[in-house]
Amino acid sequence: MTPKPRATAGALLSAAMLTVSVAPPGHAADGVTVSHGFSNFGELKYPADFAHLEYVNPDAPKGGEISVWAQGNFDSFNQYARAGVPAALNTIGTEYLMSATDDDPYGLYCLLCTTIEYPDDLSWVIFNLRDDVTFQDGTPMTAEDVAFTHKLFLEQGIVEYRSLVEKYFGGVEVLGPYRIKFSLTEEAAMRDRIGLAGGTPVFSKAWFEETGARLDESTQRPFMATGAYVLDSFDFNRQVIYARNPDYWGKDQPFNIGRFNFDRIRVEYFSDSSAAFEGFKSGDYTFRTETSSQTWATGYDFPALNNGHVTREAIPDGAVGPRLSWVFNLDKEKWQDRRVRQAIGMMFNFAWSNNTLFFDFYKQPVSFWAGTDLAATGVPDAGEAALLQPLVDEGLLPADILTDDPADPPIHGAGTNKPQRSILRAASKLLDDAGWITGDDGLRRKNGEVLEVVIIQYNPIFDRVVNPFLNNLKVLGVQGRLERIDTAQYVQRRRAGEFDLTTQGFQMGFEPSTGLKQWFGSETADNSSRNLMRLRDPAVDRLIEVVSAAETLDDLRNSTHALDRTLRHISFDIPLWYNDETWVAYYTMYGHPDPLPPLAVGEFDFWWYDADGAAALRDAGVLR
């Protein structure tokens, strides 16, 4: 399944799931709730004794291979280390104590446990583990492995994770071979507590001790875990293959019926997207998620598709709309002036880009929660205003945030890329007011420094977007430059803050909470893979706490509206575009449930191999 941004531990993936027949959630005599799952809002969608997930095909056949592509290179299988470039899908074999489904936006369900126990104040949670879970090497999983993995992340996890999470846990206690207790501190938000503990992945303690592997170092193999897929083979920078484990412990569990159907998942590496598309057309791999509107509009005219051997589908995306942006490096003094950031951002012409470059397929993400009722709109209502007013009174936000609509990008004309005169004048005034004055050579300077924007990028597909933007910056008197670098340099320079603008994809969830600190919190600004803009803002920090403390959906909406409005006001990013559909193309050798669930496409999870379709493709000479 697709990773769930809503999972509060920041690491929950919807992996193999299971259930047992237990009573509905209820209170024991001592006031402790015992349940097969947990939801902060309303009832769980699935009871403890359901037969299978509603969106799977319970009769899906097993077998065959699905193959996809990845760009660039890889030299590690450790997703959690800052060293190295991890291979695609390297966590596909990792499972967690609890997991989510693709049709329940708020529920978490026992995966490696049978039940959880917790008091009303959620100060602790006990996981009653399954006694039949085995690692991929056949050894049993016990509470000792869970405790070991939890401590491993607190000792060797990346700084942005440790700095946030370690203060939320009061300790972990092994109560028996299959029983473990996590204690939560008062600093942990109530809504996050079950998810923080339940989001624990489980690795083999014995394997780590035998191999000497570390979480903070690159590795030549994935960590020993419990999931349905294991590494089969790899060729660095060329190919990686994962195979379904025939001895997977959970293959007969109700949660897994109709899932994990492919024998093999193959990833082919290409230097760029153009080469990858040519590879798809020639059958080098067989499933493609399309991210280029130009290719989607004009490229799908080749024999295999025209002859009915390839299918194209535009699948509605029911998740929160992603916000693809260029983010400013706020550690650089020139970008610490909001007026300068606003002026630069005004030079991106989305309307022309969408019309000319994107075939009008995309939308501009005005909100960080696009397409949902969590997005701020209009003038703040009473509930939202009550949260913003104290921040205005303390001078942390301007008074007009209470009376104006939320900040949206300017609307340019679609007929030409050149910025409208009124927008250009407004941007020029902002720079003038900020002290960046145009010289005789047409360039803006302040204290002798030329106003320059360096955009780093590794993917040439972005050139057609970046270059028109640079042309508009030149009209404004700003010197713009695109630096094309390889994948390893791109990763390193983003981490080191060696850029003016870089691309960042913001993916929020339906239940925002503590994870917001990794995206926007001051405490992660010095070392974060998410807070790349180095945002440090006291109003944002305060509102994150309010969002995290929300106990009802109304409170969550009001607080998220206030946060969304504030983030947009700060103007630390230039919103580019998003797609409310997922575009896929695949050779007619696969099947999928109809309809698909709202929160994932699930090609590796609940699609299946059509042996007859594959045979027909081979007979037609389409595939080898």
Q: Assign residue 118 the CATH number of its domain.
A: 3.40.190.10
201 and 238, same domain (yes or no) = no
* pLDDT averaged over every residue in the chain: 93
Residue 26 has, within 13 A of its CA and on its CB side, a CA count of: 7
Residue 217 has, within 13 A of its CA and on its CB side, a CA count of: 7
314 vs 83, higher pLDDT: 314
Other beta carbons within 10 Å of 407: 17
Other beta carbons within 10 Å of 440: 5
User: In this structure, what DSSP letter does residue 466 have?
Assistant: H
pLDDT score of 385: 98
pLDDT digits (tens, 9 = 90+) for 230-270: 999 999 999 999 999 999 999 999 889 999 999 999 999 99
115 and 143, same domain (yes or no) = yes
Asked if residue 369 is part of any domain, the answer here is yes
356 and 462, same domain (yes or no) = yes
Q: What one-letter code names the amino acid at 37?
A: G
What sign for the dihedral angle of Cα 586, 587, 593, 594? positive
Percentage of the chain lying above the pLDDT 70 cut: 95
181 and 54, same domain (yes or no) = yes
Q: Is 315 exposed, middle or buried (0-12, 13-18, 19+ CB in 10 A)?
A: middle
Asked if residue 12 is part of any domain, the answer here is no
475 and 491, same domain (yes or no) = yes
Q: What one-letter code names the amino acid at 501?
A: L
pLDDT score of 83: 85
Asked if residue 111 is part of any domain, the answer here is yes
CA–CA dist 331, 497 (Å, integer):
8
Return the CA Rg of the chain.
Answer: 25
106 and 192, same domain (yes or no) = yes
- Above 70 in pLDDT, residue 17? no
587 and 565, same domain (yes or no) = no
pLDDT digits (tens, 9 = 90+) for 530-567: 999 999 999 999 999 999 999 999 999 999 999 999 99
Closest to 229 in 3D by CA, of 78, 79, 98, 92: 92
Q: What one-letter code names the amino acid at 404?
A: D
Closest to 511 in 3D by CA, of 200, 96, 104: 104
474 and 519, same domain (yes or no) = yes
Total domain count for the chain? 3
Per-residue buried b or exposed e for 25-46, using 16+ beta carbons within 10 Å of the residue's own CB = beeeeeeebbbbbbbbeeebbb
Asked if residue 14 is part of any domain, the answer here is no
- Above 80 in pLDDT, residue 25? no
Asked if residue 351 is part of any domain, the answer here is yes
Q: What one-letter code names the amino acid at 462?
A: F
Asked if residue 562 is part of any domain, the answer here is yes
Label each residue of 495-551 as H, E or C: HHCCCCEEEEEECCCCCCCCCHHHHHCHHHCCCCCCCCCCCCCHHHHHHHHHHHHCC
CA–CA dist 189, 530 (Å, integer):
20
Per-residue buried b or exposed e for 225-243, using 16+ beta carbons within 10 Å of the residue's own CB = bbbbbbbeebeeeebbbbb
443 and 497, same domain (yes or no) = yes
CA–CA dist 409, 423 (Å, integer):
11
CATH of the domain at 433: 3.10.105.10
Which of the four pLDDT bands, split at 50, 70 and 90, describes residue 163?
confident
Q: Which domain holds residue 259?
A: 230-319+580-619
pLDDT digits (tens, 9 = 90+) for 304-314: 999 999 999 99
Asked if residue 9 is part of any domain, the answer here is no
248 and 349, same domain (yes or no) = no
533 and 390, same domain (yes or no) = yes
Other beta carbons within 10 Å of 158: 17
Residue 502 in tokens = 């870089």
Classified as helix, coil or strand, 169 is strand
Asked if residue 315 is part of any domain, the answer here is yes
pLDDT score of 159: 81
CA–CA dist 598, 352 (Å, integer):
31
Residue 624 in tokens = 């080898």
CA–CA dist 223, 111 (Å, integer):
19
Parallel, antiparallel or unpaired: strands 264-270 and 65-71: parallel
153 and 288, same domain (yes or no) = no
CA–CA dist 296, 294 (Å, integer):
5
Cβ(171)–Cβ(159) below 8 Å? no
pLDDT score of 26: 52
**Mutual angle of helices 463-476 and 421-433, in 10-degree steps:** 70
Cβ(179)–Cβ(125) below 8 Å? no
CA–CA dist 97, 113 (Å, integer):
6
